[in-house]
Every structure is written in C-alpha cells, then in structure tokens.
C-alpha cells in the first residue's frame, strides 16, 4: 500500500456506507458479537455470523432483517480449524471478497488456577487463542490476496494486568494480544491491519453468567468502574466498527479499551 499523499485513499466509507463490504464475526449469535454484526449490517454491509448455536445465529439474522441489514449464518465451532476455514472460504467465495474479520468467540469462567482441570484450560485456550488464529489465517489468505482487510480481536484488559481466577482466559487473550502485534507488523506492508478491542464489564448474558453471577459479585464489579455503569454491547460495537472501517486505515497493532476507565481506576488508597 502506497503512503504518498496523492495515493492516500479518501475516506471510502462513513459509518452509514458499508454497502458492498463483507465481514465475518465469530460468536455472532449473542452479546458483543451480535451487536457488532447488527451495527455492520445497519451500515449497509453484509455480515456472516459464525457460532455454535444455530438458533442464536438465526435470531441475529432476524434482528438484522428487521432493520434492513444482511446477516448470513454458519454453524461452526472455532475449535474446528477445518470447518472454520471452510466457512470463511465459503463467505469469501460467495461474495468475491472479505473486508473484515472480528474474532469475538470466547469462553470463560472464574476458577482458582490450582483447581482448573487440563480440559478446562484447553477448552478456553482452544476457543480464544487457537480459534482466533485459525479464523485469522483463513481470512488473511483472502485479504492478503486483495491487499486490503481488517482484523479485530476481542480481548480483555487482564491480558496485560492479570486477574485472579482467569488464568486460562488471561493467558489466551495475552496470546491474542501478542499475535495481533506480530501480524500487524508482518502484514502491514500488504494492506492487512490487525487490532484489538478490550471491552470492560459488558452487560451481556454470557459475561454475566461467567463473571458476575450473584448480586454481590455484580455490585463489586460495578464498584470497580469509574464510569459507574457497565459497558453496553452497542458501545463496544462502535469501537469495533471504527477499526473495521477505512477511516482507521493508518491504525494497526493497537488496542482500543472500552471500559469506562475500569482498569486504570482500581482504587487502592484513601
């Protein structure tokens, strides 16, 4: 990609102009993934949502249809590299392009590290770290061929500051952070950007069940957020959309945190 000013592309798409663009969102059947898919579709783009539960994916497609957007679905577990690659290849073949990938599929539960079984460790690392790489590899083969594309990986701030009870998820998301920086450097000259978003505590069913399942736990989490409330999936989707779009064309290898100041504002003194 040339960097001379006369060749610098104009802003090809505003938030309302993603017509003709195609994205894949993993874990698009619920929560943050669904919000990102709906936002992309509302801006005119076509989104393929991948996930394990067909009925949840269909609900995302139905909701998109209500607002005139286009969402396609494919039932696939991101731990199955072959099936994941086939699903992403099929999207690219159907549309003749693939502009963006959001690696949102995740698995999580809070557990003392010494009690975590090998299977529990493997389940989370397989979904988060391996699944992200398998999907990115598949998507990048199309993007690198076209010399254009954006990958957005969903991580969490404990990828760099750590958090008790999340050793599997933190290790996996820390790996995704390192993967993001590595691939941003490796593919930067070939037009493919790779970035992360790090949502704070977000009001979704999955996160609530996994991370704040009691009223006391919920209160404790809320108390840790300087902004005084949970993040909404729609706020996270705005950040993802920006990094998927042409507007952010000079941004790669970075992490946008959407957490109401949570990780900076952990109170210790006073």
- Which positions are annotated as active-site residues? 158
> Whose Cβ is closer to ligand HXC: residue 28's or residue 201's?
201
Residue 212 CB, shortest distance to ligand HXC, in Å, is 9
Residue 169 CB, shortest distance to ligand HXC, in Å, is 6
> Whose Cβ is closer to ligand HXC: residue 32's or residue 183's?
32
Q: Which residue's beta carbon is nearest to the bound ligand HXC? A: 107
Residue 109 CB, shortest distance to ligand HXC, in Å, is 3
Residue 65 CB, shortest distance to ligand HXC, in Å, is 25
> Whose Cβ is closer to ligand HXC: residue 13's or residue 169's?
169
Q: Which of 148, 142, 171, 141 is nearest to 159 (CA)?
A: 171
> Whose Cβ is closer to ligand HXC: residue 4's or residue 119's?
119
Query: Which residues of the chain form contacts with ligand HXC (CB under 6 A)?
Result: 106-109, 111, 117, 119-120, 123-124, 127, 156, 169, 200-201, 206-207, 210-211
């Amino acid at each position: 990609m040339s960097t001379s000013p006369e060749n610098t592309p104009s802003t090809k798409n505003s938030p309302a102009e993603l017509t003709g663009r195609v994205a894949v969102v993993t874990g698009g059947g619920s929560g943050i993934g669904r919000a990102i898919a709906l936002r992309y579709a509302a801006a005119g783009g076509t989104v393929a949502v991948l996930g394990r539960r067909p009925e949840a994916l269909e609900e995302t497609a139905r909701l998109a249809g209500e607002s005139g957007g286009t969402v396609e679905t494919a039932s696939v577990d991101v731990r199955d590299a072959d099936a994941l690659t086939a699903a992403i290849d099929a999207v690219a073949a159907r549309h003749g392009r693939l502009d963006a990938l959001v690696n949102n599929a995740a698995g999580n539960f809070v557990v003392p590290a010494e009690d975590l079984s090998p299977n529990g460790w493997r389940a989370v690392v397989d979904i988060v770290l391996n699944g992200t790489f398998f999907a990115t590899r598949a998507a990048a083969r199309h993007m690198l061929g076209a010399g254009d594309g954006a990958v957005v990986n969903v991580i969490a701030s404990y990828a760099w500051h750590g958090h008790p009870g999340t050793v599997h998820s933190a290790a996996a998301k820390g790996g995704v952070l390192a993967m993001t920086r590595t691939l941003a450097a490796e593919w930067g000259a070939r037009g493919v950007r790779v970035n992360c978003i790090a949502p704070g505590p977000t009001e979704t069913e999955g996160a609530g069940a996994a991370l704040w399942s009691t009223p006391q736990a919920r209160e404790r989490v809320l108390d840790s957020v300087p902004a005084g409330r949970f993040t909404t999936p729609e706020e996270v989707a705005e950040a993802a959309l920006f990094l998927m779009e042409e507007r952010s064309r000079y941004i790669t290898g970075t992490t946008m945190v959407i957490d109401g100041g949570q990780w900076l504002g952990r109170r210790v003194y006073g």
